[in-house]
Amino acid sequence: MTSNPADEVAVAEFLYELWDANWDDGPLGNYQVLAHPITKKTPRRIYFTYSTGGHRSGYVDRQKIEADGEIYHGYTMRRLHLTPPEIPSRPARPSLAELRQAMADAHPDRGGTDEAFIAARQRYERARASA
């Protein structure tokens, strides 16, 4: 059985962006990968449509992004990638025992400073209150 080329679905291509959903307020690190559809490729440029902020279009230098795998799009201040970037993992929160040890290590009697000890104690107290 032969397939009709008109029946085949074209493979969609995208430029990808690692985007922090809480960039304007709240804790950083709530990452998402946005996919901006590629609308046209020429020998010099790749044209795409932003998946956020309406249906504006833009373009990047094709040779540079294909050589490096990513490019900084200065007009929008976004870093765009040819393949989906990995979402960075958030560091694990320290345990109460680790915070207590850090507080002890920062004590002035052990060579720490008053400011370092106070900051370590505040971190410990906040973690203890939330546990």
Rounded (10°) angle between helices 96-105 and 114-130: 170
Query: Which one is predicted more confidently, 77 or 114?
Result: 114
Side-chain-side CA neighbours of 50 within 13 Å: the count stands at: 14
- The pLDDT of residue 80 is above 90: yes
Does residue 26 or residue 9 have the better pLDDT? 26
Domain ranges of the chain: 9-81, 96-130
Residue percentage of the chain with pLDDT more than 70: 82
Q: Does the pLDDT value for residue 25 go beyond 70?
A: no
